[in-house]
Chains A and B, each alone.
Chain A
Amino acid sequence: MTTLDDPLGPSSGLQATESVADVADLGAARPLRKDVWRRFKRNRLAMVGLGLIILLVLTAVFAPLIAPYSITDRAIGHYREGVSSDHWFGTDTIGRDMFSRVVFGARVSLKIGITASVIALVIGLLLGAIAGFFTGVTDTIIMRITDIFLAIPYIVLAVAIASMLGHSENTVILVLGLTGWLGIARIVRSSFLSLKQLEYVEAATALGYSRRRIMFRHILPNALQPIIVYGTIGVGSVILAEAALSFLGVGPTDPTPAWGLMVSQSKGLMSTSPHLLFFPGMAIFLTVLAFVFVGDGLRDALDPKLK
């Protein structure tokens, strides 16, 4: 089916989709998926986390319907007011409704969290897979680069790149995506190192499959479990990092309702108006917690040996 002399040819990927063996693989994977869901469902914390994530996504999607005010509307004369029936989460220093801003903040956090995680995941996956599969010089170079970037404090790098590219949501996405792949690359590499020793890889090689096909259609599906877990928790860490960057003043700028930015705007106002800190702080906390719970639940569900 695949040509022998076509180690990385572009055609091999297309043909692979129709291959009988691969269809059989998919069939075999189905009962496992059901098992995972059954085990996942039994984990109460994971279900709470999943519920929170669904709530968060709904909030982000329907933000304009949920929020009673716009994020820039100012209630003249109502500055830093506490919780009331008009303003459920109070108002901020210039009279904007905190509830509306926190609701719209879900969009910012989710957008940054998910896009940056996907970028990091793709880079980490590719580099980790290449390092683990080819070993030798390629591996050494990639891993050395990873080590060097791990040695530079993450936050220094992020602040430096963010101040270079300017302050916006897209910058933050880029910064976090470009700095977040290190852990994933290491995990993917170690999975690839051990998996490529297995017989089925030898069999695939003997069948003359291209290296790309072996890497991504044979080894990768078996290395997915830790990646899924890491990726889920990773969305949480990205949201935390985004909050930290906003807090340090290199994230999105003022009218953007980023939760981290809102927390940093409460600086020094804690004794008079703690609500400015409490609501956005809780929003970050619950969001990250949800991803941690789901990640933990997935790990336990994917690896029944641990339970």
Chain B
Amino acid sequence: MTAYLIRRALQIIPTVFFALSFLFFLFFALPGDPATLIAGGANRVPDPIQIEQINERYGFDDPLLVQFKDYWGRTIRWDLGESFQTGRSVNDILGEKAIASLRLSIWAIIIEVMVGISVGLLSAIRRYSWSDQATTIVTAGLSAVPVFVLGYFLQYGFAVVPEKQGWPDWMHLRTSQLGPDTWALFFIPTGEQWRYLILPAITLACVSTALAARMTRGSMLEVLRADYMRTARAKGLRERSVVTRHGLRNAMLPVITLIGIDFGTVIGAAVLTETVFSWPGLGSAISNSVLDRDLPITLGLTLAVVVAYSVINLAVDLSYAWFDPRIRLGQEGNA
């Protein structure tokens, strides 16, 4: 088990290395000279002396491979460099943005797990019922709404309409920015904060919740037919315990695999959600930095995302053994 854990953790290193190196070289293939951009953007004719200073400072004149080596030399020492545009330390930016994103995603995950899995479970148990059919339609619908359209619709319904119609103040939700930024226990919003959190959290959760519900339903339908379910019932276990302890636990394997693999979609959804709600998180910061050609920010923040992706997928693999004790990690066939 320990050996397996170490081997899997080591596999993360090449993934991170190649992913970031690819982005590094992609950046240099982009048109436009980075020094010119730093000196004042594409619309102005910059001062040649200034450009020279910038080239000197960031080492843009060095051969690409030297710059590449320097980049990794710094990154290994956890120095992510500084923003081309504002000169702020990327380590600081990362710390700040990651916390905002983490708070948002914790709530999105809570919604996804609680709503998605229970809806899928109920839908599978009451198959072909009215509520099952409604679930099928609603989940298909949610997976078809573009995240940003959903975000805007929610803003319209819960912030614009209450404002226009003069609804009582407690019904107003806020649609943009982080809000007062007051939290208890890291992630529990206090004071007015929940008004700012609730719409982006729902928006971010929607797509993956729908996916989790669909997956749970399908997986559960398959499990419900299994022999061990009949055995469990024959033993005289209560239906509730049969469904949750024998059924759901077995049905969870494909669902959590999907949640792990689907992380990329969640990041995409986060980019859009954070852009729509002006939530100052990683997603919007990454996409803005790519558009601004601010390479240190792009690479630094993507590093965090790629590591998170790898760790989540490792955790998913490890959780297999918990959900299904027959799976022994690290033995032949599983590694």
Contact = CB atoms under 8 A, between A and B. Distances in A.
Contact of A244 (B14, B148, B153): B148
Contacts of B156: 270-271, 274, 277
A289 B160 CA distance: 27
A285 B268 contact: no
B309 interface: yes
Interface string A153-170: 111110111011000000
B15 A153 contact: no
Interface residues of B, number: 51
Contact of A163 (B19, B286, B290): B290
Given A248-B275, A284-B146, A154 B267 contact: yes
Contacts of B267: 153-156
A271 B160 CA distance: 6
A281 B149 contact: yes
B272 interface: yes
A150 B291 contact: no
Among all A-B residue pairs, the 10 with the closest Cβ atoms: A288-B144, A289-B144, A281-B149, A153-B267, A155-B268, A159-B290, A164-B30, A271-B160, A148-B18, A151-B306
A293 interface: yes
Interface stretch (B20-28, B51-59, B185-193): B20-28
Interface of B: 14-16, 18-19, 22-23, 26-27, 29-31, 136-137, 140-141, 143-149, 152-153, 155-156, 160, 163-164, 218, 221, 261, 264-265, 267-268, 271-272, 275, 286-287, 290-291, 293, 298, 302, 305-306, 309-310
Nearest to A150: B264
Contact of B144 (A151, A250, A271, A285): A285
Interface string A205-243: 000000000000000000000000000000010001101
A42 interface: no
A150 B148 contact: no
Nearest to A155: B268
A260 interface: yes
Contacts of A306: 218, 221
B142 to A, nearest CB: 10
A292 B143 contact: yes
Contacts of A68: none
B149 A151 contact: no
Residue in B141, B293, B298 with the greatest tally of chain A CB atoms within 10 Å = B141
Given A156-B302, A240-B146, A277-B149, 19 more contacts: A45-B137, A148-B19, A150-B309, A151-B310, A152-B306, A153-B267, A154-B267, A155-B287, A159-B290, A163-B290, A247-B146, A248-B291, A260-B146, A263-B149, A263-B152, A266-B152, A284-B146, A285-B149, A288-B145
Nearest to B29: A164
The winner among B18, B27, B305 for most chain A CB atoms within 10 A is B18
Contact of B140 (A144, A247, A249, A289): A289
Interface of A: 45, 144, 147-157, 159-161, 163-164, 236, 240-241, 243-244, 247-250, 260, 263-264, 266, 270-271, 274, 277, 281, 284-286, 288-289, 292-293, 296, 306
Contacts of B141: 285, 289
Contacts of A274: 156, 160
Interface majority SS (helix, strand, loop, mixed), chain A: helix
A250 B292 CA distance: 12
25 contacts: A148-B18, A151-B309, A153-B286, A156-B23, A156-B267, A156-B290, A160-B26, A160-B298, A161-B26, A243-B146, A247-B148, A249-B291, A260-B146, A263-B148, A266-B152, A274-B160, A285-B145, A285-B146, A285-B149, A286-B144, A288-B143, A288-B144, A288-B146, A289-B144, A292-B143
A249 B290 CA distance: 12
A247 B19 contact: no
A241 B116 CA distance: 23
Contact of B31 (A164, A247, A266): A164
A159 B283 CA distance: 12
B144 A292 contact: yes
B196 to A, nearest CB: 18
Given A153-B286, A154-B265, A155-B267, A160 B30 contact: yes
Contacts of B153: 277, 281
A156 B146 contact: no
Contacts of B290: 156, 159-160, 163
Nearest to A153: B267
- Which residue of B19, B136, B155 has the most chain A CB atoms within 10 A of its CB atom? B19
A144 B14 contact: yes
A163 B30 contact: yes
A282 B79 CA distance: 46
B26 A264 contact: no
Contacts of B221: 306
A284 B306 contact: no
A293 B286 CA distance: 33
Contact of B23 (A160, A249, A292): A160
A250 B291 contact: yes
Contacts of B137: 45
A230 to B, nearest CB: 13
A151 B268 contact: no
Nearest to B147: A244
Contacts of B218: 306
